[in-house]
Amino acid sequence: MARASILTLDPRRGGVPALARIVYGLLVAAGHTPALVYRATEDVPTGSTGRALRFFLATPPVRRLVNEGMQSIAITAYPVPPRYQYHLPRLARAAVIAPIAAIVAGSSHVGLPRALARRPYLLWVATVYADELHGRVQAGDRWADGVLGSRDWPILEAQERLVYERATVILAASPHTRERIAARWPTVSHKLRTVVYPVDTDRYRPAGGPADPPYLLLTARIRDPRKNVELLLRAFGRVRSEHARLRLVIAGDEPTPDTRQVAARLGLGESVTFPGYVPADDLVALYQRATLFVFPSLQEGLGISAEEAMACGLPVVSTRSGGPEGLVQDRVTGLLVPNNDEAALAQAIADLLRSPERRRAMGSAGRERAVQLFARTRVEAALRTAFKDTYGDAF
């Protein structure tokens, strides 16, 4: 069994860790022994310089552990300048130069060690780094603004370009991301393919119909300011004037205090529910009983929750934030509205609430599209082909 490595982000909850789990399972099924390699940023204590210093003094540079059943190699995330941060996984040299490797990332930088080693690799990427940072800036992230204006930024751009140029095959997680990569680095266009996140369409399927009273649904890592939860709360406040029984369920994370304050200030009271993290079986039921799925993001590389909603026969109302434009067919499987436009989002929600027949037609079309494009069997077949094209008989 060949050794294999997956260079990725911290493999906790989120879209990129979900992609990494798919690749891990695929490699195991193909007879390999994979390990995740990542910078353990979430392990570093915050709020106290002393605690952080003690952590760095006591923590080995490289640790072997298990994350959700996956063998992993955690690299201590030392506080170095951004231009050096993606060099750190080279500490796990044996994993970096493993015979089989995949780079699975939000943006491509985590693949820098493999690119520098000049070894073949498959790159599965969700977004262009500049797009991610600009989305964060739009959401008020001062750190992202600082990175874009720093002397490190040209170096980070060069690192990103190198990872794309030396990749054997590049998989974009959405049509939007593929277009952005091709526009930014035309010389890599011949390597590009679109492979979205696979959805288990046997598990995520229509059942039961909308609940009474009706509710709108958002499932996301809502503590990420790019999810733009406040926009959804304000739009919901507008819609409630016409639909007093309507509810809003926002799941995925516990909300920030600011989010709760916005809901209170808008007078939404018990009409908004924040269930936090929802186990998979309960999440499927949430999709199946919702009236609409609403996606208010400022920037998305893909939008896994929108895929899952469509598989459950749920119409999607989304901002034009990147990834959703390649998933949602406007006026066919849902409605797309201008980014960060409260009035347009509220109007789209209200229009569909007034038309049950239109919602049903969109839900059916969304389910059909999910089965055709997002089904696990189809996507995993595309991944296997990409690995074979990268590694031939070695895969």
DSSP letters along 149-204, please? TSTTHHHHHHHHHHHHHH-SEEEESSHHHHHHHHHH-GGGGGGEEE----B-TTTS
CB atoms under 10 Å from CB of 190, counted, come to 8
Question: Exposed e or buried b for every residue in 335-361, given b needs 16+ CB within 10 A?
Answer: bbbebbbbebbbbbbbebbeeeeebee
pLDDT in tens, the chain (395 residues): 568 999 998 777 678 889 999 999 999 999 999 999 999 988 898 888 889 899 999 999 999 999 888 999 999 999 899 999 999 999 999 888 999 999 999 889 999 999 999 999 999 999 999 999 999 999 999 999 999 999 999 999 999 999 999 999 999 999 999 999 999 999 999 999 999 999 999 999 999 889 999 999 999 999 999 999 999 999 999 999 899 999 999 999 899 999 999 999 999 989 999 999 999 889 999 999 999 999 999 999 889 999 999 999 999 999 999 999 999 999 999 999 999 999 999 999 999 999 999 999 999 999 999 999 999 999 999 999 999 999 998 88
CATH topology classification for 215-373: Rossmann fold (3.40.50)
Round to whole Å and give the CA distance between 223 and 10.
Answer: 16
The tokens describing 82, both together, are: 């951004």
Antiparallel, parallel or unpaired: β 292-295 and 215-219 = parallel
N- to C-terminal Cα separation, the chain: 10
Topology of domain 3-198+376-394 in CATH is Rossmann fold (3.40.50)
Sign of torsion over alpha carbons 342, 345, 349, 350: positive
Sign, Cα dihedral of 158, 162, 165, 170: negative
Domain residue ranges in the chain = 3-198+376-394, 215-373
Q: Would you call 104 exposed, middle or buried from its count of C-beta atoms within 10 A (0-12, 13-18, 19+)?
A: buried
Amino acid in position 219: T
Q: Cβ–Cβ contacts within 10 Å for residue 29, how many?
A: 10
**Helix, strand or coil, per DSSP, at residue 79:** coil
**Rounded CA gap, 130 and 112, in Å?**
17
Supply the pTM of this predicted model: 0.93
Contact present, 38 and 7 (Cβ < 8 Å): yes
Same fold, 3-198+376-394 and 215-373: yes
